[in-house]
Structure 1
Amino acid sequence: MKRICVIGGSRYIGRLLVERLRDAGHHVTLVNRGSAAPPEGVTHLVADRDDEAALAAALGSRRFDVVVDQVCYTPVQAAVAARVFRDRTRRYVMTSTIEVYDPASAALPPVPPGVPVPEEQVAPADWTVGMDLPWHDEAYREAHYGEGKRQAEAVLTRQDGFPFATVRSAHVLGGGALEFTGRLAHHVTRVARGEAIAVHADARPTVFVHHEELAALLAWAATDTGFTGPLNACSDGLLDVRDVTAAVGERLGRKPVHRTVAAGEEAAPFSYDRHYAMSNARAKSLGFPFSRTADWLPGAVSEAVEAVEAQV
């Protein structure tokens, strides 16, 4: 049994992770701002992770085998965590994102088209950190989501208080109404109404992960392995936006309508004009077995359809 602290486990992946860890017999401490009731059987600490003094006070003298940070978005937050948990944990795992590889948000080394991007594409130890940028501004954080994650990884990689690992998640699907980004629901709504979906002329493929699979991988990362550094998390199989809308169309019995966007025009969710689909080879080499996106996508689409219909 491990003593595990989860920061920000109040919904979706975080809540699934907390429940998995609890059900496996681990002692789980959940830290969040108290916006939602925690699952039964876990210790709940209410604190704002941005308030260093309040976070340290809430933790008190507690010590953990591992911390899983679900809500670290900026280098400032990472620096607070590095200081607060320096003598409180033996290991730290941060949930990151495929968007750290997005060439539209940073100057990255080129990757041949169609070649899945390995973890080495973004090396946290070498990334420039700007602590004085306006990370406190919510609009700025949202507009620089990938950069915030890159810099957070960099800060935690360079600290010397605990071994650090970062899980770079693919686009998460599944869970119906729990999938709060609404990206799959966007496609369901437009296909159901016969409305055109804006796509790039040469939409590039990307990678996905089921929400339950990501929770399972995070639990595995926290308990069954001691890897450090970045790890890509994605199911097997590349899909582009037309593959996703085709799955929606099949479920609804309607043919999707697509509209090609002009250069610079915003496209629909999961339509990309640049390549940054990840490789999951490292996770597989460490022993994590991934599913195939094509196997679980129909079920995720059905959940999204049911959630959209329930709102009508």
Structure 2
Amino acid sequence: MVMGKTREVLVIGGNRYFGKRLIARLLAAGDRVTVLNRGSAAPPAGAVHLVADRNDEEALAEAIGTRVFDVVLDQVCYTPRQAATARRVFAGRTGRYVMTSTVEVYEHEDSETLVPESAVDPATVAVNPELPWDDPEFLEAHYGEGKRQAEAVFAAAGPDLPFVSVRVAHVLGGDDDFTGRLDHYADRIRTGAPIAVPPVRHPATYIHVEEIADFLFWTAGEDFTGPVNAASHGELDVEELCTTVAARLGTVEPVFEATDSTEVSPFAFRRRYGMDNSRATRLGFTFGDVRQWLPKAVAETLGKDD
């Protein structure tokens, strides 16, 4: 990024949670921000609003017109079909293309150590655009695979589309957490209902909602490419997470019930879901520690229930 130059930034999606925090940071930095979505919500004041369905290549190209961007931040790419459409539309028209990806790309990596980006190389991922990616049930069941294949499509674009995939850890915090996962635990702890967990619980890495917004904003101003893991330092298992929720509620300790069923509570993992964040650290980003911000995150999300 050239100092003093106002950046042209496009955000695809970003209507809620850490996406809206990212847009706020870009605007505060003086960037010219364009937000593209299907018209479900207007962006904040100061941003240009483009309305198009990203799945419709003709409509997407028409909405973009002749615009070029320093960086595109794609918050809502879930399938290789969506990636292929975006690749055709934006190749040669942006300095960098940053896709928000997920820790779920590592869903088949059963590792006893923190997983580095090299564990899933987009260049080696097979792409099958003919799978039923438009079926919501299929997409939900193959979320990690959809993200893996989307990364692979972008990574194959070459120099016409310099590409970054931000693999995001599980996000916590904020009074607008729409996932309901911490609320699930709060409800069960209040009532004394057992929390279903596997016989052996494994830890995972997490990131605060404000920290991932900071990370994406930072990434927009850097020049590296390729996959990068975004996770706070430290790991948590479901028991420690629930104990923190119970402390916030000022109630009894949570009750856990081990089960072999596949139906277990959120964040109750049968394998380790930990990401190695050393690449991002070497590149210059400073992560917080999950245990330092966890009580704040729980208070933010459950505060409305106090």
TM-score normalised to the size of structure 2?
A: 0.95
Tell me which residue corresponds to 2:258.
261
Number of residue pairs matched by the alignment: 300
Shift of 1:308: 4.1
Give the conservation status (yes or no) of the 8 Å contact 1:236–1:290: yes
| 1:52 aligns to 2:52 (yes or no) | no
The code of the aligned residue for 2:208 comes to H
Paired residue secondary structure (1:129): coil
Equivalents in 2 of 1:304, 1:184: separation in Å?
Answer: 7
Tell me which residue corresponds to 2:133.
135
The code of the aligned residue for 1:78 comes to A
Shift of 1:37: 1.9
Shift of 1:306: 2.1
Equivalents in 2 of 1:209, 1:276: separation in Å?
Answer: 13
Which of 1, 10, 16 aligns to 1:5? It is 10
Tell me which residue corresponds to 2:199.
201
The code of the aligned residue for 2:126 comes to T
Equivalents in 2 of 1:234, 1:253: separation in Å?
Answer: 29
Give the conservation status (yes or no) of the 8 Å contact 1:188–1:304: no
Tell me which residue corresponds to 2:88.
83
Which of 133, 157, 161 aligns to 1:159? It is 157
Which digits, 9 at most, give the CA deviation of each residue in 1:208-256, with x for residues without a partner? 1001100010001011x11111000001111000010000011111233
Which digits, 9 at most, give the CA deviation of each residue in 1:15-71, with x for residues without a partner? 110110010011111000111121110111011100100010011110001100000
Paired residue secondary structure (2:261): coil
Shift of 1:257: 2.9
Q: What are the residue-to-residue correspondences of 1:178-193 with 2, within 5 Å?
A: 178-193=176-191
Equivalents in 2 of 1:170, 1:287: separation in Å?
Answer: 18
Tell me which residue corresponds to 2:169.
170
Give the conservation status (yes or no) of the 8 Å contact 2:72–2:97: yes
Tell me which residue corresponds to 2:120.
122
Shift of 1:188: 1.4
Tell me which residue corresponds to 2:147.
149
Tell me which residue corresponds to 2:3.
none
The code of the aligned residue for 2:152 comes to A
Equivalents in 2 of 1:26, 1:273: separation in Å?
Answer: 43
Q: For the aligned residues, what is the CA RMSD? A: 1.2
Which digits, 9 at most, give the CA deviation of each residue in 1:170-201, with x for residues without a partner? 0001112x111111111112112221111122
Which of 94, 107, 112 aligns to 2:99? It is 94
TM-score normalised to the size of structure 1?
A: 0.94
Q: Which stretches in structure 2 are left out of the alignment for 5+ residues?
A: 1-5
Which digits, 9 at most, give the CA deviation of each residue in 1:256-278, with x for residues without a partner? 33333322331111110112310
Equivalents in 1 of 2:277, 2:92: separation in Å?
Answer: 32
- Percent of matched pairs sharing the same residue: 52
Give the conservation status (yes or no) of the 8 Å contact 1:69–1:94: yes
Equivalents in 1 of 2:48, 2:187: separation in Å?
Answer: 39
Q: Which stretches in structure 1 are left out of the alignment for 5+ residues?
A: none
The code of the aligned residue for 2:115 comes to V
